[in-house]
Chain A
Amino acid sequence: MGKKVYMDNAATTQTKQEVINEMIKYFNEMYGNPSSIYDLGRTSKRAINKARTSVAKFINADEDEIYFTSGGTESDNWALKGVANANKSKGNHIITSKIEHHAILHTCEYLEKQGYEVTYLDVDENGVVNIEQLKESIKDNTILITIMFANNEIGTIQPIKEIGKIAKEKGILFHTDAVQAVGGLRIDVKDLNIDLLSMSAHKINGPKGIGALYVKKGTKLDNFMHGGAQESKKRAGTESVQNIVGFGKAVEILEENFDEHIEKITKLRDRLIKGIKDNIADIKLNGHPVNRLANNVNFSFNYIEGESLLLYLDMEGISASSGSACTSGSLDPSHVLMAIGLKHEIAHGSLRLTLSDSNTEEEVDYVVQKLVDVVNRLRVISPLKG
């Protein structure tokens, strides 16, 4: 008892101590408004620009292509609404996928109400978007393709380079929600032909409530937040200096030992997948077997329901997540699990475990051991296990 294992890093991550140490200064002595002309203000401005450089470098963008926002949700909203509004004269058709985060899907639904037309692409059983369908969906009035880089539930990585190429050939803007991808993959926006990209700091050991939108130079995009002249007059509001500094620091730490970081997490992930497969019957790994995020494990356990599973795991000190209806607050299980073709009862019995580089092999083994017990207990209670 008393053991705590956090394996819900796709939900959020622990803010690294080095990140906090940097941030604290901007609450204490360096509290100036970056728009102010005196030294205290300029100090804050410099800190923001340093962070901007780090974030830009990380995805091979230029500094003036990075705009800080309040997080992934705002970046997604801004990209979609901003492109839709600014390109009205060109057309009103948007292409996305059925497995996007709600920050994209609900924004698309909103745009549909405003008169835009949205195509929601299917995915295959591994969660990969149908490229043929994408090509066929493109019309003269298509103004935007928005496909997530990697999925938050099942970890599947999309063929972003291929999509970027298609978008470029057709002269259509391409946005990608890379909120989950930035911590797990090297991203080069130039090489991938990405016009807009959303990021969020709290998924990479940075603070919550801060993110960025990368906007390629020359992209037609309306403003989302109107007000002061911050962020080159593109995103109004006094900058969250300490959060921006924290975001920058988190990116720098990630960049510094990216390969080791990915290697370590991948090893833990594969150990976890193997442990579960070797010890529990009647299960299914959800998401792509190979092209998946280094930190993502998602299994369905037949005959049992996800919320019960989470609650029993919580009693063992394990934090995880599920795509069951009972945890989503709605009648249906996760739209992602339905889109990959899972039957309802299988989707209800899903468990997502997402790792960080603070997890250990010992923790992985502990989770496997507890999972065996908990799944057995719930199967004994289940009427479905004949």
Chain B
Amino acid sequence: MYTEKVMEHFRNPRNVGEIKDADGIGMVGNAKCGDIMKIYMKINNGIIDDVKFQTFGCGSAIASSSMATELIKGKSVDEAVELTNKAVVEALGGLPKVKVHCSVLAEQAVKSALYDYAQKNNLVVKGLEDFNPDEDVHEH
């Protein structure tokens, strides 16, 4: 049911862990739904130097977090804000329909961490004006 790419990221997830002195942290999802993603970012001069994740969730949740972190590592904050769940799904070679929510969660986790970074540094990030970190994005 999963593509080889999904399984590859699930088997060997990239960027697993915590960043102790992270500049931005985002956590989305809830235990009720069975998926929680937490993303940590180290940001210097508007560039995401390092990113790590922790995920409680199914195979596609883990693969989506792994892929999302890979897609934004080394990118600028402005580029990372533009990461969409579609891009995550595409990079994974597709996700089963019932699992697309996992990629939405990955997008939201990235945005949430960027939002946290912007808040802490009194920055306005284009694309995050309407972002609500507490919104329940977990539709199935």
Q: What is A's interface to B at a CB cutoff of 8 Å?
A: 303-308, 311, 315, 324-326, 329, 331, 333, 343-345, 348, 380-384
Contacts and interface: CB of A to CB of B under 8 A. Distances in A.
Interface string B23-35: 0000100011111
B56 A303 contact: yes
B34 A308 contact: no
A382 B17 CA distance: 9
Contact of B34 (A303, A326, A383): A326
B91 interface: no
Given A345-B32, A345-B56, 10 more contacts: A305-B61, A307-B59, A311-B7, A325-B33, A325-B34, A348-B31, A381-B55, A381-B62, A383-B37, A383-B55
B54 A383 contact: yes
Name the residue in A306, A315, A343, A383 with the highest tally of chain B Cβ atoms < 10 Å from its Cβ.
A383
A315 B11 contact: yes
Nearest to B7: A311
A33 B16 CA distance: 63
A380 B140 CA distance: 27
A329 to B, nearest CB: 6
Contact of B58 (A326, A344, A380): A326
Nearest to B59: A311
Nearest to A329: B98
Contacts of B10: 308, 311
Contacts of B27: 383
B135 to A, nearest CB: 18
B13 interface: yes
13 contacts: A303-B56, A307-B58, A308-B10, A308-B59, A308-B61, A311-B10, A311-B59, A315-B11, A326-B59, A344-B33, A345-B34, A382-B55, A384-B56
B57 interface: yes
Contacts of A333: 34
A345 B56 CA distance: 9
B11 A382 contact: no
B38 A383 contact: yes
Contacts of B99: 326
Interface residues of B, number: 26
Contacts, number: 66
B113 interface: no
A379 to B, nearest CB: 10
B67 interface: no
B41 interface: no
Contacts of A329: 98
Interface string B96-123: 0011000000000000000000000000
Contact of B32 (A304, A324, A344, A381): A344
Most buried by A among B7, B36, B58: B58
Please give me the 9 A-B residue pairs with the lowest Cβ-Cβ distance, nearest first: A345-B31, A326-B58, A383-B54, A307-B58, A383-B38, A348-B34, A344-B32, A382-B56, A325-B34
A307 B58 CA distance: 5
A384 B54 CA distance: 9
B57 A344 contact: no
B56 A305 contact: yes
Question: In this complex, which of B7, B34, B54, B55 has the most chain A Cβ atoms within 10 angstroms of its Cβ?
Answer: B34
B27 to A, nearest CB: 7
Given A348-B34, A381-B62, A384-B36, A331 B140 contact: yes
A308 B13 CA distance: 12
A27 B54 CA distance: 55
Contact of A305 (B58, B98, B140): B58
A303 B36 CA distance: 10
Given A344-B31, A348-B31, A381 B58 contact: no
B32 A380 contact: no
B31 A324 contact: no
